[in-house]
């Protein structure tokens, strides 16, 4: 009888813990504002911001692509902070690594006096066609390069969210 009581208690405890884990996992994919001492960005729902030391900011879709795109996230955004290149070189590199450029522009007279470069294009990696988005900001001798990519077949779901993310990205 004691074994039945203990077993019932263990099962109930496992259900409670499992429910809390599922709730926490779901909350990780909700929209939020990520703010550090250096930058601020809006992370839309459907993306997770893994807390690691690889990048100052990273946001990934939950799901991976299908078939030949199975090793790629459906959408991914990564921020690099670059100290050893100048603004022009970073912008040129963005243009060179984008297969087809759909639009590019330099933002003049930004409110904070920063130089900003925006680029949208298309790229192919391992036969997987992606839409790519760049926002490059120069501030106090540092370059902040925010790059987002979405597998073309998932663009309808993620493109507007990525554009919101890039638009919200500011350097303090």
Per-residue pLDDT tens over the stretch 141-161: 899 999 999 999 999 999 999
Mean predicted confidence (pLDDT) in 100-118: 90
% of the chain at pLDDT higher than 90: 70
pLDDT for res 64 = 95
Mean predicted confidence (pLDDT) in 58-80: 95
Residue 19 pLDDT > 70: no
Mean predicted confidence (pLDDT) in 55-78: 95
Q: Going by C-beta distance under 8 Å and a sequence separation of 6 or more, which residues neighbour residue 136?
A: 87, 90, 91, 94, 116, 117, 118, 119, 143, 144, 145, 146
DSSP3 helix / strand / coil % (the chain, rounded to 5): 35, 40, 25
> What whole-number distance in Å separates Cα of residue 34 and Cα of residue 32?
6
> What whole-number distance in Å separates Cα of residue 136 and Cα of residue 120?
12
Q: What is the CATH number of domain 31-171?
A: 3.40.1000.10
**Phi, psi dihedral angles at 66 (to 5 degrees):** -115, 160
pLDDT band at residue 132, thresholds of 50, 70 and 90? very high
Say whether 17 sits in a helix, a strand or coil. Answer: helix
pLDDT for res 146 = 98
What kind and span of H or E run contains 95? helix 87-97
Give Dmax over CA atoms of the chain in angstroms: 77
């Amino acid at each position: 009888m004691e074994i039945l009581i203990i077993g019932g208690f263990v099962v109930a405890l496992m259900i409670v813990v499992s429910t809390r884990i599922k709730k926490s996992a779901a909350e990780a994919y909700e929209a939020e504002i990520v703010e550090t001492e250096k930058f601020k960005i809006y992370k839309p729902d459907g993306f997770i911001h893994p807390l690691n030391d690889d990048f100052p900011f990273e946001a990934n879709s939950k799901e991976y692509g299908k078939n030949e795109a199975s090793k790629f996230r459906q959408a991914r955004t990564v921020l690099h902070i670059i100290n050893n290149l100048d603004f022009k070189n970073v912008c040129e590199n963005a243009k060179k690594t984008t297969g087809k450029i759909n639009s590019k522009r330099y933002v003049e007279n930004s409110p904070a006096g920063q130089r900003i470069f925006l680029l949208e294009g298309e790229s192919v990696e391992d036969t997987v066609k992606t839409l790519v988005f760049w926002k490059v900001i120069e501030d106090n001798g540092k370059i902040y390069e925010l790059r987002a990519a979405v597998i073309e077949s998932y663009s309808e779901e993620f493109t507007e969210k990525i554009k919101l993310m890039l638009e919200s990205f500011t350097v303090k």
